[in-house]
Structure 1
Amino acid sequence: MSHVVIVGAGITGVTSAYELSLLGYEVTVIDQHLFPAMETSYANGGQLSACNAEVWNQKSTVLKGLKWMARKDAPLLLNPSFDLHKYAWLIEFLGHIKHYQTNTIETVKLALLARQRLFEIADQEKIQFDLEKRGILHFYHNHADYAVATEVNQLLCRGGLQRYAVTAEEIPSIEPNLTGQYYGGFYCPDDATGDIHKFTVGLAEVTQRLGVKYLWGMQVDEIQHRDHDVLIQFQASSENMQDKHDINLGQLQADAILICAGVQSYSLAHMLGDRVNIYPVKGYSITIDLKDQQSITAAPWVSLLDESAKIVTSRLGSQRLRVAGTAEFNGYNRDIRADRIQPLVDWVNQNMAISTEHVVPWAGLRPMMPNMMPVVRRGKRDRVFFNTGHGHLGWTLSAATAAIISQQIQQYYPVS
């Protein structure tokens, strides 16, 4: 049996482990945390959103970013301090503006495949993760934003998305709990929401029953590429409470290695002789505990996306509402800033009649490529593969990219 080592136990790593185990591979997953899905896959916006597949590579995005630099509460925030990686990434981002339409259509197609595959996995494995198949409603506050969105919608529909325009009068019939005034919107009835952390934990349990091994609390120190295998050396991470003096470096031999390590994929790829230009783009979320009957009744069940504020919502069961947004270019900083959380709370108070007394804040780093496309391919060297760089669409795309990379591995290194 061929052995594949996966680095990273977030949504992409665990879905890849699942697909590889179904193909008959021996799989070992290494993660620096003590549990699955503890970084970007912990508390994201919750949307399985083919309707949000538009890539960001547009001049308008750059202009908005420059305009918002002085606003701490802006949807997109760029720390102007010099960082070579950040500015090289931004220059490369600009270079992909010419691929905006092609990449958006390709992302839509991938998202539709992923949505179907994730539903299949959840049904087959009986994973409970607060799945709601009630669609996603995008709404707009003025004619100018709606006109731009109409052009984007035409592009998304060219990729196969089923999404239609709704008037301001029709919005309450889709989600009656919205309390604001809106110009119009678009509704994608086939998109869904769910708790990414619950799903990843549940699928990790399934893979363990299928024979996948997990090494928790271990960080990869060195990867040696050899003629007939790959040697991975690791040691206890900072979370591992064992006495570090009693732990020798561990090592694993593998027929292939698959990098699914989120923002850490950048340095791991460099170790392997590859350039995977991932930059960490911070996003924030709040999880509102709905503790009173008024809030339980008044919280929306249909997933929402306010295009002007770049804020999304997902109902996670009867007593939780997830609200997420913002993009912050500030390196590997994981601090949860109060001035970035407060706009999410304010937005909820403006748009729905629920209590924001019980709010849990979170911040995570999206692993984002300059072209906004995931890296799903072989490395420069034999036996090296990547499934990473999904940006803000890791939850949406992971089920498809896991199947694709597993088939690539099977093509080059079939189970012996």
Structure 2
Amino acid sequence: MSKIAIIGAGITGVTTAFALRERGHKVTVFDRHRYAAMETSYANGGQLSASNAEVWNNWATVRKGIGWLLRKDAPLSLDLRPSWHKYSWLTEFLVGIRNYEKNSIETTRLAIEARQHLLRMAETAAIDFDIETRGILHVYHDAHDFEQAAKSNKMLQAGGLDRRPVGAEEIRTIEPALSGKYHGGFYTPSDFSGDIHKFVTGLTAHCARTGVEFRLGTNAEVMAERHGGVRVEWSPEPVGSADRFALQESFDAVVICAGVESRHLAMTLGDRVNIYPVKGYSITVQLDSLSDQTAAPRVSLLDERAKIVTSRLGSDRFRVAGTAEINGFNRDIRSDRIRPLVDWVERNFPGISTRRVVPWAGLRPMMPDMMPHVGRGRRKGVFYNTGHGHLGWTLSAATAELIAMQVGPAH
């Protein structure tokens, strides 16, 4: 039985633990939080969306981004203060435009494959995660955006996705609660949504029952051993000067699933993984009354102009998420970024009370080419499953299987 350490107990870390334990490995998961799924896996948009697999690396995104720089309520916010990390990432983002079509098709295929793995995990672990299998509806306000979406749809179809155009009247049929005027939309009946935090919490409990050890609330560092394998040194959080890295253990291999902290860990292991933290925001609207619940949509939505996604989480919660903020490791929840999400709800679903709204912000771990970093490091026994960006919930079950195959069977 091989001993495998995993750094990170978010969606990628816990799905990786599941896949490795199934193959007979002895798995230990480290995370600095006392509980699993407390960072980017806490309150995302909820969508498991192959229909959102188009990577951002294209000139249309760049042009829109430049136009948004001076708008406080724009979907993108960029702090222009100089930073080598930020500008090296942005440069590589521009270089990635040449692979826009290839990467979009590959991401679509991976997202479709991930569905079967995630649903199997949920069934095996008997997880209730507020799944809604009513598809995802993308809506467009004008003909130009709709025509651009039709071009993008050809790539998604090349990746194997069944996604069809719908007119303004059919939008009302698919989701009667949606108000406002729309030119048209695209509907993906095979996509679905759910609560990522509930899923990871449930899968963590299942993994613990099957023998995975979780060392939560620990600050961990990883060192590669000279002749193969790794050593993990850790201590409880918060770290005091006397007990810093007081404990250590050797493992046959390590999988780095540490989100935005993966770049730092990779550097200590001699690898370059140029992840940048791109902040996203969400609000969870509490649907306290029957009238609120009736007024809220059941179908998961994406408003292309506002770059806002929504998911219905059970009968009494409505998740609304969006925006991208390029501002380093800043985790502040800014009211000027939350306000557009609340305004969007009030404008599109005026029957919903926004009296009780829970705001949240998380840092998406994004590679400049928008592709997850899955594979071996330079040192023997070092692996990475990280950098999924805004598609961690969508892709993680597939990349967990990929990395488990690369680690190989237990011995």
Give the TM interval when normalised to the shorter protein.
Answer: over 0.9
> Aligned residue for 1:118?
118
- 1:225 and 1:193 map into 2 onto residues whose CA distance is 42
Distance verdict in 2 for CA 1:248–1:8, change over 3 Å:
closer
Aligned partner of 1:382 in structure 2 is 380
Separation (CA, whole Å) in 2 of partners of 1:180 and 1:70:
26
Out of 359, 365, 368, which is 1:361 matched to? 359
How much has 1:248 moved relative to structure 2?
A: 6.0
**Paired residues of 1:45 and 1:325 also in contact (CA < 8 A):** yes
1:415 aligns with 2:407: no
**Would you say how many aligned residue pairs link Structure 1 and Structure 2?**
410
Q: Report how far residue 346 of structure 1 moved.
A: 0.2
RMSD over aligned CA atoms reads 1.1
User: Does the Cα contact within 8 Å between 1:225 and 1:272 map onto a contact in 2?
Assistant: no
Q: How far is the alpha carbon of 1:109 from its aligned partner?
A: 0.2
Structure 2 CA distance for aligned equivalents of residues 225 and 142 of structure 1: 58
Equivalent-residue separation in structure 1 for 2:390 and 2:28 (angstroms): 26
The one-letter code matched in structure 2 to 1:340 is R
Give per-residue Cα distances to partners, 1:103-158, cap 9 Å, x unaligned: 00000000000011111111222110000101000000001111101101111111
CA distance in 1 between counterparts of 2:347 and 2:225 reads: 55
Which residue in 1 is equivalent to 2:281? 284
Q: Do the aligned residues in 1 keep the contact of 2:47 with 2:393 (CA within 8 Å)? A: yes
What is the rounded CA distance, in whole Å, between the counterparts of 1:181 and 1:318 in structure 2?
26
1:225, distance to aligned residue in structure 2 (A): 2.8
Q: Distance in 2 between matches of 1:178 and 1:225?
A: 57
Instruction: Give the residue type in structure 2 aligned to 1:285.
Output: S
Q: Please tell me whether the aligned partners of residues 221 and 235 of structure 1 are also in contact (alpha carbons under 8 angstroms).
A: no
In structure 1, what is the equivalent of residue 128 of structure 2? 128
| Distance in 2 of aligned mates of 1:248 and 1:121 | 34
The answer for the alignment partner of 2:263 in structure 1 is: 266
Contact 1:219 1:235 in 2 (8 A): yes
Equivalent residue for 1:320, pick from 317, 339, 344: 317
**One-letter identity of the residue aligned with 1:336:** I
Q: Which runs of 4+ in 1 moved over 3 A?
A: 243-248
Offset at 1:247? Answer: 7.0
Question: 2:404 aligned with 1:406, yes or no?
Answer: yes
For residue 305 of structure 1, give the secondary structure of its aligned residue in structure 2. strand
Tell me what 1:307 maps to.
304
Contact 2:233 2:245 (C-alpha < 8 Å) held by counterparts: no
Give yes or no for the alignment of 1:17 onto 2:17. Answer: yes
* Secondary structure in 2 matching 1:127: coil
Q: CA deviation at 1:246?
A: 6.0
1:5-404 alignment, distance < 5 Å = 5-238=5-238, 245=242, 249-352=246-349, 353-404=351-402
* In 2, Cα distance between equivalents of 1:221 and 1:299: 45
Q: Shift in Å at residue 229 of structure 1? A: 2.2
Does the 8 A contact of 2:42 with 2:196 survive in 1? yes
Whole-Å separation in 2 of the counterparts to 1:65 and 1:43 = 25
Tell me by how many angstroms 1:224 deviates: 3.5
Is residue 228–residue 379 contact of structure 2 (8 Å, CA) maintained in 1?
A: no
Write out per-residue CA displacement over residues 203-259 of structure 1, whole angstroms, 9 at most, x where no aligned residue. 000000110001111112342333142111112223x7xx77467611111000100
Q: TM-score, normalised by structure 1?
A: 0.97
The 1:222–1:119 alpha-carbon spacing in structure 2 relative to 1, beyond 3 Å, is closer
Query: C-alpha distance in 2, partners of 1:89/1:98?
Result: 15
Cα distance in 2 for partners of 1:91, 1:229 equals 34
Write the letter of the residue equivalent to 1:59: W
Letter of the 1:25 counterpart:
H
Counterpart AA for 1:325: G
Residue identity matched to 2:202: G
AA in 2 matched with 1:183 = H
- Aligned to 1:73, the other structure's residue is in SS state coil
Q: Distance in 2 between matches of 1:163 and 1:207?
A: 35
Alpha-carbon separation, structure 2, partners of 1:155 and 1:224: 41
Checking the alignment, whether the CA contact within 8 Å between 2:50 and 2:394 is kept in structure 1 is yes
Distance 1:220 1:297 in 2: 47
Distance 1:47 1:59 in 2: 25
**Matched position secondary structure for 2:169:** coil
Distance in 2, matches of 1:297 and 1:304, equals 16
- TM-score, normalising length from structure 2? 0.98
* Contact 2:220-2:245 within 8 A present in 1 as well: no
Q: Which runs of 5+ in 2 are unaligned?
A: none
SS in 1 for 2:288: coil
* CA deviations over 1:322-347 (Å, ceiling 9, x no partner): 00000000000000000000000000
Say if 2:224 and 2:379, in contact at 8 Å, map to a contact too.
no
Q: What SS is found at the alignment partner of 2:223?
A: strand
Counterpart residue identity of residue 395, structure 2:
L
Q: How far did 1:98 drift? A: 0.7
Structure-2 separation of matches of 1:108 and 1:23 = 27
